[in-house]
Structure 1
Amino acid sequence: MTKLAIVGLGLALAPHMQSLKDLKGRVSLGHAVTRSPERAATFNAEYAAEFGIEAASDLAAALADPELDGVILLTPPQSHLALGAQILAAGKHLLIEKPAGLTTDDSRALLAQAQAAGLLVAPVLQHRFRPAIRTLERRISAGEFGRLCGGNCLFPWWRAQSYYDTPGRGTYARDGGGVLLTQAIHTLDVLRALAGGIRIVASRAVTSALHRMEAEDMVAALAEFGPDAAPGTIFATTACYPGMSETITLIFERATVHIDAALGRISHHDGRVEVLGTEGASGNTADPMAFHHGPHRDLIENFVDALEGKAALSVGLSELVATREVIDQMPRPSAG
């Protein structure tokens, strides 16, 4: 049985704990680490009895466990580089929450450290594990729909000001950026994977009148998708009340693919229509955790499969680096 630890017991914890419940009998949770007494108390009240462990504050002690195989790192972005490096230095495989550091170089450094040590490192990019996305990625890669001719991506989410009033949220020092790096990165990663790459031609980022924050909450971009430089657009915001689901539309020679959150629709140009996946919340509204944990479970299961030598990582940290390189092409905000 693979033994994992979770480091960081904040907002992102719930879908991981639900996933570990589903994977009981195959994965054991050996350690839960936090520096917050309040979060430790909450963890103990909700999970200690079921998982047979209590939260602790000593990461070094957890990493010294010779039976520990890997760590799920869920702490805020500004801590990712130092903690990720500490975990890898202890010889433990790493599943790390996006954005895997404040800068793209932070992510590159963790990837290089893992490769040098022969360890696995994967990002929590759970949208890539949505059933519809996995099916579309396979069929697009096989060339089923022909050449990509154009597309667009719309990310009209909502976050109340109270979300950004949490100390550090929406700042470069804690999060590394705004809507692109903290929320839209999942959808941009799906778009990049399905389109075969993204090049930003022109963009504008602003901090709108709807939020008081340092980083951007609204971005518009002209883009080129894939090896044939198909024209397209990207618009991302957390200032669209009350929040709508993210969409991707890709126009191919033989079909148009439309993705609405976890639901995919293939409109073949001969009139056939296929529907993939299911409708469901995606965290687009004021509650950022309003989504099903299934893709998290599948992501963790793939990570465990890779640790056990049963499969390759479906999405390694190099994928996150590539998506961050797209975000790096879009400048920081000007006055909104």
Structure 2
Amino acid sequence: MINFAIVGAGFIAKKHIDAIEKTEGAQLVAVCDTNPERLAEYEGKVNTFTDLEEMLKNQGDLHVVNICTPSGLHERLVSTVASYKKHIIVEKPMALTVEDSEAIITEAKEHGIKLAVLHPNRFRPAIKKLREVYDAGKFGKLSHANATVRWNRGQEYYDQAPWRGTKKFDGGVLMNQAIHNLDLLLWFMGPVESVQAMAATRFRKIETEDLAAGVIQFQSGALGIIEAATTIYPKNLEESLSIFGETGSVKISGRNANFIETWDFQDVSEEEAQSLAEEIKADPFGKPGHQCIVEDMVAAINENREPVVGGEDGLAPVKLIAALLESAETGKKVTFN
């Protein structure tokens, strides 16, 4: 049995706990939060702690720690957990800066622990089918791709906690909302050559951007277009990922990028494409991505391999976002080394 602990008992922690409870060979043994009120519902069910090091010292049977705190705290917490040689699952983004993200990877390697980053959208049925045809070379040479996040986050969302919308602890629409879509964009399109972007804070009273748009040139020569906004009235409109190649065009859309809108390949009939779209529509979310990540961590420990979504996967979108924000601030193209 692989024993898990949660650090940070806020909203997202409930998804982690549900994933652990549904995973064979996994069990939750501890929850840690600096706010005792958040721990009340776990009293008597698991061990509870208000101090991380106290938990790491006293919970001797612990194997994996899931970090679910505000993003600006991730690197410091990972450093502490890694020093006790516990495996780690860290929520997205893995950190708010490239430097902190790289430090997390280094700390995991130095202490010989497994590191997984929570990018659950890779496990949605439509995205898994898209990956199958991509790996099979169905697109031919890639032309370009489009990643769009048109969501609503009202002022009340940011007012829920003082860290929301801050540069130090939260990040803006690119880092907090669009990062899942950007992870998918990079997963399919590969390394980035350069970016050029604009960003603005149009409606919300926050430190960070609520609107951003950018253009990417990938090392392959393909282009990418990014649009990300939390300014959409009055509710979430869409999240979509479109990929275009010589012999294929696909658009995955819906409010959370989980339905097939376009599925055109030269060797796939309209009937086959429609059948696949209906299959996805019947179960658009599939097994929860958090559960897939937890299951994979259990398997990685038992099989002594690396998690399928590891530190480098978490670093890539952070590097992309940092470049986009640098370009937006300077008004210049940013070229990757």
TM-score range, shorter chain: 0.7 to 0.9
Query: Which residue is 2:7 aligned to?
Result: 7
1:262–1:280 Cα contact (<8 Å) kept: no
The corresponding residue for 2:30 is 31
Counterpart check, 1:266 vs 2:263? yes
What secondary structure is seen at the aligned counterpart in 2 of 1:41? helix
Give deviations 1:54-106, integer Å, cap 9, x for gaps: 43213223212332111001011121111110000001011011222231111
Q: Distance in 1 between matches of 2:265 and 2:193?
A: 27
**Aligned with 2:164 (options 155, 162, 169):** 169
Which stretches in structure 1 are left out of the alignment for 5+ residues? 282-290
Q: Which residue of 1 aligns with 2:232?
A: 240
2:98 corresponds to: 104
Which one of 39, 55, 59 corresponds to residue 62 of structure 1? 55
Aligned letter for 1:59? L
Question: Cα distance, 1:228 vs. partner?
Answer: 2.9
* Number of the residue aligned with 2:332: none
Number of the residue aligned with 1:85: 79
- What does 1:119-138 correspond to in 2, within 5 Å? 119-138=113-132
- Residue in 1 aligned with 2:335? none
Cross-structure match for 1:284: none
- Equivalent-residue separation in structure 1 for 2:132 and 2:5 (angstroms): 32
User: What do the CA deviations read for 1:19-76 (whole angstroms, capped 9, x no partner)?
Assistant: 12212x51011111111122112444xxx5xxx3143213223212332111001011
Give the AA of the match of 1:171: T
Q: Is the Cα–Cα contact under 8 Å of residues 95 and 318 in structure 2 kept in the other structure?
A: no
Match of 1:74 in 2: 68
Q: CA deviation at 1:292?
A: 8.0
Match in the other structure for 1:277: 280
Residue from 117, 134, 147 that aligns with 2:111? 117
Distance in 1 (CA, whole Å) between partners of 2:287 and 2:158 is 24
Shift of 1:201: 3.4
Distance 1:292 1:87 in 2: 31
Structure 1: distance between partners of 2:220 and 2:84: 44
The 8 Å contact of residues 305 and 312 in structure 1, kept in 2 or not, is answered as: no
> Normalization by structure 1: what TM-score?
0.87
Q: Secondary structure at the match of 1:180?
A: helix
What is the CA RMSD across the aligned residues, in angstroms? 2.2
SS of residue paired to 2:303:
coil
Q: How does 1:201-280 map to 2 (within 5 A)?
A: 201-208=195-202, 210-225=203-218, 227-241=219-233, 242-260=235-253, 261-264=257-260, 265-270=262-267, 271-272=269-270, 273=273, 274-275=276-277, 277-278=280-281
Residue in 1 that maps onto 2:21: 21
* Structure 2: runs of 5+ lacking an equivalent: 330-337
Measured in 2, the distance between the counterparts of 1:27 and 1:71 equals 12
Identity %: 31
Cα distance in 2 between the residues matched to 1:185 and 1:33: 26
1:115 & 1:57 partners in 2: Cα distance? 27
Give the conservation status (yes or no) of the 8 Å contact 2:214–2:227.
Answer: yes
